[in-house]
């Protein structure tokens, strides 16, 4: 279900690296400014935390890897999820279609095409209707612990 919510979030903003992994440049090191980034230029750890319609933040991170995979880390212990203090980890794929366009496919096969731009430590994406910006974070995948036992 969260996979679908992520795709909906990316497309309509409803609601809801490191350690030897192939995660690119850490999400914000270097000054990359482009309207048509490649997968290598968006690879890294991004903070997708956002306020929700009920006023609580939904703490959420994504790791885009240069190998075409991505991982979602949803913190279930935040006020929005009000659950166990752990990170739910879900996998998906991202394909560089060129010119800043990417096909995102979650683990259930749901597909979405998004256009990304990058300005330094900010990553902006749009589905043509809705636009949202994420921030680079110095966090690494090893920081998203404990992992939920779901």
Residue 20 banded pLDDT, cuts 50, 70, 90: very low
Q: Is the pLDDT of residue 7 over 60?
A: no
Q: Is the pLDDT of residue 56 over 60?
A: yes
**Domains of the chain by residue range:** 2-143
Handedness of CA 146, 78, 130, 4 (dihedral sign): positive
Taking a C-beta distance cutoff of 8 angstroms, is the pair 72, 62 a contact? yes
* Residue partners of 146: CB distance under 8 A and separation at least 6: 85, 86, 87
Q: Is the pLDDT of residue 83 over 50?
A: yes
Looking at residues 96-107, what average pLDDT do you find? Answer: 95
d(CA 99, CA 105): 18
Q: What are the backbone angles phi and psi of residue 81, rounded to the nearest 5°?
A: -80, -30
Taking a C-beta distance cutoff of 8 angstroms, is the pair 147, 87 a contact? yes
Fold classified for 2-143:
Lipocalin (2.40.128)
The pLDDT score that the predictor gives to residue 14 is: 28
76, burial (CB in 10 Å: exposed 0-12, middle 13-18, buried 19+): middle
d(CA 41, CA 45): 12
Give per-residue pLDDT as tens, 122-144.
999 999 898 889 999 999 999 99
d(CA 59, CA 77): 9
Examine residue 18 and say whether the peptide bond preceding it is cis (omega within 30 degrees of 0). Answer: no
């Amino acid at each position: 279900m969260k996979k679908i919510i992520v795709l909906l979030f990316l497309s309509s903003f409803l609601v809801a690296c490191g350690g030897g992994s192939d995660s690119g440049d850490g999400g914000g090191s270097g000054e990359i400014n482009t309207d048509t980034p490649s997968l290598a230029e968006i690879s890294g750890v991004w903070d997708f935390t956002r306020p929700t319609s009920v006023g609580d933040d939904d703490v959420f991170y994504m790791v885009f890897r240069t190998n075409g995979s991505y991982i979602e880390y949803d913190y279930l212990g935040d006020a929005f999820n009000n659950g166990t203090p752990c990170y739910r980890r879900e996998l998906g794929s991202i394909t560089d279609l060129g010119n800043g366009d990417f096909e995102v496919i979650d683990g259930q096969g749901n597909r979405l095409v998004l256009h990304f731009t990058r300005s330094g430590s900010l990553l902006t994406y749009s589905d043509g209707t809705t636009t949202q910006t994420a921030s680079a974070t110095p966090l690494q995948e090893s920081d998203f612990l404990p992992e939920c036992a779901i």
